[in-house]
Amino acid sequence: MSAGSPPARLVVLLSGRGSNLVALADACARGELPAEIVLVAANRADAAGLDRARERGLAALALPSKGLSREEHEARLVAVIEQARADWVCLAGYLRLLSPSFIERFASRIVNIHPALLPAFPGVDAQAQAWAYGVKVSGCTVHLVDAGCDTGPIVLQRTVPVLDDDTPDRLAHRILEQEHVAYPAALRMLLSRPWRVEGRRVIFS
């Protein structure tokens, strides 16, 4: 995005607490991110992240996936994302795997944050996986989303030490602090600098 262009329109998808949504919303509000959140959608009506969105005056929508096929649910999701005229889809604790056709539709415009240094510890409970494995450094990864599980090209990573007296919860807390820095920073880079994907590598020029 160049100076004077309109802010990028972000749709945030979540399933739970919404602390990364809050970090993105705060960064937008502080003018640190050339973007606005035009919709927050959750696949669970009880996702606390929807309350966080509403508290901030953001449009928030529950699109429950329960009882629907993946196709039916994604068709509804695509409809609201397109209606919101989204430029980017930001996954922030969205606990559903997206289909290849959804990913193709928003190709190179879907980002995710994962609480480990990918490609180590993809999938659920990444912080506990890293703790149990005994790594001495962990962190978080912001990546473009492809059809695999946490396999897309990496945009940005931040590290944290794993301490001898850590528990999975303490480690998760330390990683989460870095997630709240990494997600806005990665989006800022994607929105404000030219970039391309070469092989698996995201290159900023």
Catalytic: 114?
A: yes
**Binding to ligand GRF by residue 20, rule CB under 6 A?**
yes
In the complex, which residue's CB is closest to ligand GRF?
93
User: Interface with ligand GRF includes 19 (CB under 6 A)?
Assistant: yes
Question: Least distance in Å: CB of 115 to ligand GRF?
Answer: 4
Q: Of the two residues 20 and 43, which places its CB atom closer to ligand GRF in the complex?
A: 20
Smallest CA-to-CA distance from 49 within 27, 81, 9, 19 is with 19
With CB under 6 A as the contact rule, the residue among 60, 86, 90, 93 that binds ligand GRF is: 93
Q: What's CA 119's distance to the chain center, in Å?
A: 16
Most distant CA pair in the chain, distance: 49
Least distance in angstroms from the C-beta of 15 to ligand GRF: 8
How many CB atoms neighbour CB 33 within 10 A? 24
Instruction: Give the residue from 127, 75, 93, 73 showing the smallest Cα distance to 22.
Output: 93
Q: Is 113 in the site for ligand GRF (CB under 6 A)?
A: yes
CB 103 within 8 A of CB 24: no
Residues lying near ligand GRF in the complex (CB under 6 A) are found at: 14, 16-20, 49, 92-93, 113-115, 176, 179
Active site residues: 114
